[in-house]
Each structure stands twice: as C-alpha cells, then as structure tokens.
Amino acid sequence: MITLAISLGFTGKLNNDIYKAWKSLDKNFKINNIKNSSTHPHITLIAGDTKNIKQIYKVLKNLKIKKFKLKSPGLAIFANTNLNLYVRWERNIHLMNCFDLIRSKTKKLIYKPKKKNNLTSWVPRSCIAWKDFNYSQMASIKKKIGYLFKTRSVIINRIYLIKVTTREVLKYTIKIN
C-alpha cells in the first residue's frame, strides 16, 4: 500500500515564479521544506492509500478532461501549528467538475482517503512554505516574493500521480488537451 496524491499541474509564468520563490526563500531564510520535498508546483485534489497506482493511472488517462483556466487571487496562510503559506485558487466550475469526476472514478481504488477529499473541507492550493517559517518572518518574506501576492491565472494542463513519503515522487503525468 502506498500513499498517493492525485494533483493538477500547470506550466507558464506562475509555475516558474513558484520555483523562483522556493529558491529565494531557501537562499534568504533557509525556508526549504517544500522546495526539498515537493516534486513541483501542483494542486492536490485527492490523497489516500492505494494498492494499484497503475490502475488509477489507466482510469485517469481515459477521462475526457479538457485543459482550463484557473485564477489565483494571491497568497494565503493556514494558521495551524505548522504555518502553511500557499497560492490560493478559485473554486471555479471547471475545477469543481474535475474534482468530482476524478473523485468519483477513483474512490473505489483509494483506501483511507484523507479528510480533505470532500468538497466541504477541500481548499485548492499550491504550497509555497510549510513547517519551517513563522509569523515574524512574514514582512521579510513578502518583500522577497511579493510578486506572488497578486492576482494571476494559469492553464491547468496536466494530472499528476504523486507517491507521497517524506519526499514526493512523481509516478505518472497525464497531459490534458
């Protein structure tokens, strides 16, 4: 049994800017947990344990999902024990349809799903920093990566199957047309 995340991917300027932010946070503040453990920027839709990642790949590869535009109003913070700085994403109709379709087609293949696998608790986001920063650094962080604190858009054009351990491992990429 492995832990799997089914995620959406995007390319372009915001994707490149997230990589740039990860490098800047590492260089300037030694904030590097996400940079060192994440495969690349993504939006996780569903996470849980599975016995057959290849079967999930085959199911997802045959879905009729079209690429779509998704807006971000900027960054936000989850104020839990471990702070989470992330890119927020709108919950538009395309994202919600994609979430519902992927969830319905894979639910029998994912065991012990994470609590965030339902729409009421799921927050679409792409993590920038987690665990290794604190509130006192926020003003300095904003100065260094302020370019992420504005409204942006991306084209969702990939589905990723990511094996989750202490470090993410990209197992499959499915291009969305």
- What is the residue whose two structure tokens read 């971000």? 72
Question: Into how many domains does the chain fold?
Answer: 1
Q: Which domain holds residue 143?
A: 2-175
Residues linked to residue 69 through DSSP beta bridges, in sequence order: 155
Percent of all residues in the chain with a pLDDT value above 70, rounded to a whole number: 95
Over 80: is that where the pLDDT of 112 sits?
A: no
Per the CB < 8 A criterion, the answer to whether 18 and 126 are in contact is yes
Kindly give, in sequence order, each residue whose CB lies less than 8 Å from that of residue 19, ignoring residues fewer than 6 positions away.
40, 41
> Domain holding 61: CATH number?
3.90.1140.10
Helix or strand holding residue 55 (H, E): helix 53-61
Is the pTM for the entire model greater than 0.85?
yes
Over 80: is that where the pLDDT of 55 sits?
A: yes
Q: Measured between alpha carbons, how far is 108 from 34 in angstroms, rounded to an integer?
A: 30
Tell me the pLDDT tens digit for each residue of 121-176: 789 999 999 999 999 999 999 999 999 988 999 999 999 999 999 899 999 999 99
